[in-house]
Structure 1
Amino acid sequence: MKNPENHRIYTTSVASVYPHYVAKAEKKGRTKAEVDSIISWLTGYTTPEIQEHLDAKTDFETFFRKAPELNPNVTKITGVICSYRVEEMEDGLMKKIRYLDKLVDELSKGKALEKILRK
C-alpha cells in the first residue's frame, strides 16, 4: 500500500466522492437522506453541516479532522472494503474513510439502516 501520509484520497474533496455515494445508494433504491444519516452517525455532523463541507469542497483530511465526534460505535464496523479488512487498518484517517465506504456499501446492499448504524 502507498505511504498513507501521501494518499491522494486525503486531499480529494468530499464533494467529488459524495455524488458517487448517493448514486450507489439510489441505484439500489436507497436515498440521499439515508447517506446523510450515515455520514451524520459516523462524524457527528448535521445534514446542513455536511452540505456546508460539500459546498466548500472540503478535503477528506479536513472533513474528518473537523468532525464534531466520531461515533463511539465505529469499532463495531467490521469486514472487507477495497480489499482491506477495515478493523485491522492502522492508519486513522484511512480507517475513517473506509468506515464511510463500508457503511455506504452496506446501505447499497440493502442492509437496514438501524443495523448499519449499529443500534
Structure 2
Amino acid sequence: MQVTPEHNEKVAKLTFASVFPHYIVKVEKKGRTLAELYEVITWLTGFDQKTIHELIDKKVTFKTFFEKATVNPNAGLIKGVICGYRIEDIDNTLTQQVRYLDKLVDELAKGKKMEKILRTS
C-alpha cells in the first residue's frame, strides 16, 4: 500500500494516549507483560515509564510524541510489513516512526524474543 499525505496527517494528529490502551490489550492478550511493553517503547523512544505517562496525561499527538523522543539509532533495522505498509518504504519520517512502534508491539505480541525485538542480536 502507498502512504498518502492524508494518511500521514491522520497519523500525526492521532494521540498516543488513544493508542496506548490498545497496545496493552494486544500484548497482554498474548501473554506478554506491561513491563515488556514499556521496555519496547523505551528502547525506541528513550522515554522512561514516568515520561510515557506524562505524555499520555497530556494527550500528546504522535507528532509531538516523536518530536520529544530520541529515536534509537538501530530503529532503521526494523523492517517488514505492518498494517499493510512496508516500513522501509515509508518516506514520511513520522509515519515511519509510528509504524516502527506498531511493528515492535506486534513482534512482542507474537512472542518474539526481546533481544530480537530490540535488534540487539
Name whichever of 4-13 and 107-116 sits farther off.
4-13
1:62-113 residue CA offsets vs partner (Å, 9 max, x unmatched): 000011x110101110100111110111100000000000000000000011
The two structures have a TM-score, normalised by structure 1, of 0.94
Contact 2:82 2:99 in 1 (8 A): yes
Q: How many residues align?
A: 118
Describe the SS at the equivalent of 1:7.
helix
Aligned amino acid, residue 42 of structure 1: L
Moved over 6 A (4+): none
Q: Which residue does the alignment assign to 2:117?
A: 116
Q: Does 1:101 pair with 2:102?
A: yes
Deviation string, structure 1 residues 3-52 (Cα, Å, up to 9, x no partner): 15852121111011000001000000001111111111001111110010
Aligned partner of 1:36: which letter? Y
CA gap 1:53/1:27 in 2 versus in 1, 3 angstroms: same
Counterpart-to-counterpart distance in 2, 1:26 and 1:103: 14
CA distance in 2, matches of 1:23, 1:98: 18
Identity level (%): 52
Distance (Å, rounded) in 1 between the aligned partners of 2:88 and 2:100: 9
> Does the alignment pair 1:48 with 2:50?
yes
Give the match for residue 16 of structure 2: 14
Amino acid at match of 1:17: V
C-alpha separation in 1, matches of 2:10 and 2:89: 21
Taking the aligned partners of 1:71 and 1:2, their CA distance within structure 2 comes to 25
State the distance in 1 between where 2:7 and 2:78 align: 23
CA contact (8 A) 1:41 1:117 kept: yes
Structure 2 unaligned blocks of 5 or more: none
1:57 matched to 2:26? The reply is no
**Unpaired runs of at least 5, structure 1:** none
The one-letter code sitting in structure 1 at the alignment partner of 2:35 is A
* Aligned amino acid, residue 51 of structure 1: H
